[in-house]
Structure 1
């Protein structure tokens, strides 16, 4: 689980970040739009509504040391769910190389799509 931040804000919601979640077993990826300023409670609710309600409670969550994941609120939530949080230093692919690579690829794709949509709209005057 990691963040893609610095995205071009678009639409009514003006999302500026994306929470990227990789399932280590199936290699499936979920990208959940959010705001860079969201609090730990907002992220927990996003995770609950989009991941836990669909796939169930994970046994382990691997993440970097972002305060939103490692806060007292986050650790209490993991304890209540019975989920183990495994943290690593940012940009340390040796911990979970495949997921880190997928996350980097998704960040690149998201940034390019956001820029392309902005350029397309500016040149064409509308989008489909």
Structure 2
């Protein structure tokens, strides 16, 4: 079974209860929920045109990896 969206969760909570700063606290709770992140979270940048990457401020702050698949093994000369 899927996880409700943040908006739907807020609608459901708003219909039954209230407390000061409930929307802010509920947003924080939802966005820190591991299940929500896996099922509804964003999955990286969209494919397509060049995506700008911020320059790291410290060594090893950002690591990128290219995956090469489907390579056919070469002959003896390789």
The normalised TM-score by structure 1 is 0.18
- Highest relative contact order (Cα 8 Å, sep 6+), 1 or 2? 2
Larger Rg: 2
Query: In proportion to residue count, which structure has more helix?
Result: 1
Query: In proportion to residue count, which structure has more strand?
Result: 1
The normalised TM-score by structure 2 is 0.25
